[in-house]
Structure 1
């Protein structure tokens, strides 16, 4: 099974479809082992694909490819709410891993690449501001009634504030929160 997932990851990279992997399109979906439906299992996808790829290759272009793929989904992915949701979670998990790198310098994330997510934060903030009404109505994933009274908006605000206030940014908290 892992070899097959490795092949899928390699195809995403070779076919310049990292954006499709990030949003968890069917072929690129990383299975989650939990009770809550998600568009992509970002924690597993990051640890098993992104981090492992980085550790094995040290591909100097990869960090910027990741940023470009996040910007691409925020600019043009047809399901706007899905794009916003996954981009926010990718930024959150990346920043969480960077914080672990600092607190556990010999740990799993010790050699994690560092890349500026400022452009992603600006695009994400803008999309949050533009799509607030739709996000409030969207009850998929963490926007379900089990977790939110305001659809995806409430969990996205928690994520944005957590990234800014606890993980050192970047700041994508919308002005109209």
Structure 2
């Protein structure tokens, strides 16, 4: 674990700004080379920072802090679509890592923490239902025309279905498909 100013997770934890880390606000954004623009590079943030922090500290409060931060983002973040998109990505990645842990118990994710994401998924499902029209017209990130005909809605539906059907994760597929 890096104890310097490059570790935005440690800074977010010290600042009480884990919610800002979740959505990748400037300063709490994890940089990495990618071909596409994203609000937070969740894969890099998780693998380089979250997993490393957990492996080295085993901070028992940390999984709950992540859940709380995701709930805060969904409840209060001013850019609802960014909040929904980022939290969906975190839920997907976490459950993908859990699936990898089950497939390879001695692999990279062997020490992955347990985190109950059901309450987050429930709130996420509600936010998806309420914000459907705005998500359909939002062409940022994965909602760009090269990836979707319905803005952020289409990739979010693919992700929600994948988490539910392939990763055995919580169901946040909206009822108003």
Q: What is the TM-score with the length of structure 1 in the denominator? A: 0.97
Partner Cα distance (1:81, 1:32) in 2: 22
Q: What is the TM-score with the length of structure 2 in the denominator? A: 0.97
Unaligned runs of 5+ in 1: none
- Superposed, which structure 2 residues align to 1:21-170 within 5 Å? 21-170=21-170
Cα deviation for residue 10 of structure 1 reads 1.4
Structure with more helix by fraction: 1
Partner Cα distance (1:4, 1:106) in 2: 31
Q: Secondary structure at the match of 1:115?
A: coil
Q: Secondary structure at the match of 1:28?
A: coil
Cα deviation for residue 32 of structure 1 reads 2.7
Cα deviation for residue 33 of structure 1 reads 1.2
Partner Cα distance (2:61, 2:27) in 1: 24
Moved over 6 A (4+): none
Partner Cα distance (1:32, 1:15) in 2: 23
Unaligned runs of 5+ in 2: none
Partner Cα distance (1:26, 1:146) in 2: 26
Aligned residues: 175
Partner Cα distance (2:143, 2:169) in 1: 23
